[in-house]
Every structure is written in structure tokens, then in C-alpha cells.
């Protein structure tokens, strides 16, 4: 399962966001370092297409795709040198696929800490880049000796040196526009800032109108259009407190509260979808009377690879996939009608599954 890690200063709203996403009971409190050990939970990837398919098939079971969310303790200036909870955050961040920065923008005199999201951003980026700089330096000095004996290591050392140049200027690697070769060479080193980043700007309850401006301000700093990191970074805004309150309500009341505030479906599904997109993740569906289900796959995967997400037997004994786009299937109204109309395509081993495909796998083991 993919993992998102919530990273930020104390009192930014990480645990509140974690609770809203996972329905978890993490301690959210108005003092720094309320979170010491990470909370780990599972969030559903809500997808209206799945609900529509389940309604169409009158499915008894509906299974959403899920992601793991890790709520990490707050970090402060100097954390990489042992301040606050010190380096404890490093190990936790190394284990996530994408970093979610929670940047506080709400003002509340009862809750200590800065309320300028750019100040939050400056500190978290600096600490992450310093931590990476330290690991890259020690790796380079260790590997330079090996490179003299073994020429094949030279490429890796060169990639580390390029990374070093960025980090030494305080630039996290997701801002560096790394090419695929450098990415591949750096991957085994588990650096923190080679991960993609989603920044959540946490605005006040009465600051919803200010979301577009707050997001634009953070984006201008973090990922201006045309910058190297444009594709590795996404920014969005929400009031975590309101989202967390809404998440605790039963579905009908939640919808009423969110629409009442002009928030539509709320920011959480959008946030999970953005993180999905950043990671190059896509969704395909299976649907029937027994169950409708959303499955996660990497963009570019073939039909047998997707079949393998369901069960390894389906990949091993893959014969073919019957395929239709979910919008088309929903418009027709049923799988059998779509078949009668000749709208179900038969695809083979080379087919690259598209986001929103509904699949039926034929296999034989
Ligand atoms: N007014 C307001 N308060 C918020 C908002 N989001 C979080 N808070 C409050 O801020 C305090 C800190 O929130 P937490 O979620 O515990 O923050 P954290 O980032 O997990 O903090 P640490 O665990 O100490 O790193 C809590 O009292 C929350 O209720 C918000 O959008 N508006
Ligand atoms: Mg916390």
C-alpha cells in the first residue's frame, strides 16, 4: 500500500488532518510535540465513480482503494542537529512514498507557533535538505574510495555529487528537476527529498475565502510554473479543523455541513487524489453483484500487471481482459447490455490499462 507522511512544525495541524483522513484518534492538542511516536492509519480513497458502479450493479460490498497515512511528530529549526524531537522524524519519513507538508496559516493566540505558511515551509525544507546533505556527504566520502577500485560506481558518485550541489544551496531535491537516470541512481540511498511533495496550507475557519490567495503564495515559492520542481510538487488549501469536524459526522450530516460552507465534497478526497496523481497512481474497477471495488495501479501498467493486483493467479494465468471505460458503462447501465451492444473490448497481454477502466479478467491456472 502507498504511504503518505504528514510533516511539519508543531501545532501545524498534522494530527488533526490525520484524524480527519483516517477516522483515527490521534491526540491533537494546542501545545508543541503533542505527537511523539508516529500514528499510522488507513484512509479510503473516495471515488464517486465507484459508488456509481456499485449502485449500477447493486453490489453487496463496496471496497474503496486505500492509502496509509503516517502522522509524524513535529520538527523545529535545528531538528537535524537534535533540537526538539531531533532526528526521530528522519526514520519515519524514509518509509513514506510521498511527503505531505502541513503548513499553518491560521492565527490563534492560544496555539503557539508561527502562522505564516512560508515560515513553516522555510524551516521544514531547510531541515530536510540538511538531513539529506549530511547523508549524501557521508555516502560520497565512503563511495569515492570504492569508485577508484570499481568504475561502475562512478555514475552513482556523480549523481550523488549533483545532488550534493543542490542540497548545499539548501535546495531540496524535489525542487531540482532530477532526470530519470539520476532518480534511479539515487533511489537506493533513500534520501528524504527525492520524494514528491504535496503541501497543504491550513487556513482558519473564517479564512476559507482566502484559500486561493494562500495557495498561490505558497505555490509561487515552492513550485512556480516553469520551475524545475513543477511536476514533483502540488499545493492545496483547506481548513483542517472544519474538515476534521465534518469527518466525524454521519455521511448525510457531513454532506450538509460541507455544502453549507460551500466546500462541495470537502478537501480530503481532493487531497488524496492529488497525492495519487503526484505518485503516478491510477484506479481501475471491478464490479458485480457481490462486490464493486477500486484497485490502485501504477500508470503505464499492462492488463496482466493489473490482474496481478487482484491476485497473482490472475497474472500468472492471464488469458485476456474484457474492458470498458466506467463512464461508458455507467451511461449504458449494465455490463450485459454493454456486451450486447458490442461495447466490451477484448484486450490482450500488451494492453495498457487506463484510469477508470472496468475490467473482467479471463484466466486459467
Ligand atoms: N483554529 C484552528 N485550530 C486548528 C486548526 N487545525 C488544527 N488546529 C488546532 O491546533 C492545535 C494543534 O493541532 P495538532 O493537529 O495537534 O497539530 P500537530 O501538527 O499534530 O502538532 P504536533 O503533534 O505538536 O507536531 C490543536 O489544538 C488543533 O485543534 C485550524 O484549522 N484552525
Ligand atoms: Mg501531532
C-beta 202 within 6 A of ligand 1: yes
Mean pLDDT of 250-258: 91
pLDDT of 8 higher than 80: yes
Q: Whose CA is nearest to atom 23 of ligand 1?
A: 35
| Residue from 68, 166, 180 nearest 125 by CA | 166
Residues, beta carbon < 5 Å, ion ligand 2:
14-15, 34-35
- Indicate whether 88 pLDDT > 80: no
Render pLDDT for 138-181 as a digit per residue (tens, 0 to 9).
999 888 887 777 777 888 999 999 999 999 999 999 999 888 89
CA angle 138, 139, 145 (to 5 degrees): 100
Q: What is the mean pLDDT of residues 271-294?
A: 93
If you average pLDDT over residues 22-51, what whole number do you get?
A: 87
Residue 79: pLDDT band (50, 70, 90) is confident
CATH class of 3-46+66-278: alpha beta
Neighbours of 230 (CB within 10 A): 15
Question: In the sheet that 61-63 helps form, which strands lie side by side, from edge to edge?
Answer: 61-63, 291-298, 281-287, 357-363, 318-325, 345-347
Starting from the CA of residue 117, give the closest ligand.
1
DSSP conformational letter for 239: -
Name the residue at shortest CA distance from atom 11 of ligand 1.
30
The phi and psi torsions of 167 (rounded to 5 degrees) equal -65, -35
In the structure, what pLDDT confidence band is assigned to residue 89 with cuts at 50, 70 and 90? confident
Q: Where are the domains of the chain?
A: 3-46+66-278, 300-363
35 lines ligand 1 (CB under 6 A): yes
Ordered alpha helix ranges (H), 95-153? 117-149
What class has domain 300-363?
alpha beta
CA of 3 to the centre of ligand 2 (A): 17
Atom number of ligand 1 nearest to Cα 75: 25
> Is residue 84 over pLDDT 80?
no
- The CB of 283 under 6 Å from ligand 1? The reply is no
- pTM for the predicted model, two decimal places: 0.89
What is the average per-residue pLDDT within 103-131? Answer: 93
Asked whether 28 lines ligand 1 (CB < 6 A), one says yes
User: In testing the pocket of ligand 1, which one of 7, 22, 24, 29 has its CB within 8 Å of the most ligand atoms?
Assistant: 29
For residue 31, report the distance from its CA to the centre of ligand 1, in Å. Answer: 8
Which residue's CA is the closest to the ligand 1 atom numbered 7? 13
Amino acid at each position: 500500500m502507498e504511504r503518505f507522511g504528514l510533516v511539519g512544525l508543531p501545532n501545524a495541524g498534522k494530527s488533526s488532518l490525520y484524524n480527519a483522513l483516517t477516522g483515527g484518534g490521534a491526540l491533537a492538542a494546542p501545545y508543541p510535540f503533542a505527537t511523539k511516536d508516529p500514528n499510522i492509519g488507513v484512509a479510503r480513497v473516495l471515488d464517486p465513480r465507484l459508488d456509481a458502479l456499485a449502485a449500477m450493479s447493486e453490489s453487496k460490498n463496496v471496497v474503496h482503494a486505500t492509502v496509509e497515512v503516517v502522522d509524524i511528530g513535529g520538527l523545529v529549526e535545528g531538528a537535524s542537529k537534535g533540537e526538539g524531537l531531533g532526528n526521530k522524524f528522519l526514520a519515519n519519513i524514509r518509509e513514506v512514498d510521498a511527503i505531505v507538508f502541513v503548513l499553518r496559516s491560521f492565527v490563534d493566540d492560544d496555539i503557539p507557533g508561527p502562522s505564516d505558511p512560508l515560515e513553516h515551509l522555510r524551516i521544514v525544507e531547510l531541515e530536510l535538505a540538511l538531513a539529506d546533505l549530511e547523508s549524501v556527504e557521508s555516502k560520497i566520502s565512503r563511495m569515492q574510495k570504492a569508485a577508484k577500485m570499481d568504475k561502475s560506481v562512478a555514475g552513482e558518485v556523480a549523481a550523488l555529487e549533483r545532488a550534493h550541489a543542490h542540497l548545499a544551496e539548501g535546495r531540496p531535491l524535489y525542487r531540482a528537476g532530477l532526470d530519470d537516470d539520476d532518480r534511479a541512481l539515487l533511489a537506493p540511498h533513500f534520501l528524504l527529498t527525492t520524494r514528491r511533495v504535496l503541501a497543504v496550507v491550513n487556513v482558519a475557519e473564517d479564512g476559507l475565502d482566502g484559500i486561493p490567495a494562500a495557495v498561490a503564495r505558497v505555490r509561487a515559492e515552492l513550485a512556480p510554473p516553469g520551475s524545475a520542481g513543477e511536476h514533483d510538487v502540488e499545493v492545496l488549501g483547506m481548513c483542517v479543523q472544519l474538515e476534521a469536524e465534518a469527518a466525524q459526522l454521519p455521511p448525510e450530516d457531513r454532506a450538509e455541513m460541507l455544502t453549507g460552507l460551500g466546500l462541495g465534497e470537502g478537501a480530503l478526497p481532493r487531497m488524496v487524489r492529488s497525492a495519487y496523481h503526484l505518485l503516478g497512481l491510477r484506479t481501475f474497477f471491478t464490479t458485480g453483484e457481490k462486490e464493486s471495488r477500486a484497485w490502485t495501479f501504477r500508470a503505464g501498467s499492462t492488463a496482466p500487471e493489473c490482474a496481478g493486483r487482484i491476485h497473482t493467479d490472475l497474472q500468472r494465468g492471464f488469458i485476456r481482459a474484457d474492458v470498458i471505460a466506467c463512464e461508458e458503462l455507467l451511461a449504458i447501465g449494465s455490463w450485459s447490455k454493454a456486451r450486447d451492444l458490442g461495447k466490451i473490448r477484448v484486450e490482450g497481454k500488451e494492453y495498457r490499462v487506463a484510469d477508470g477502466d472496468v475490467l473482467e479478467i479471463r484466466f486459467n491456472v
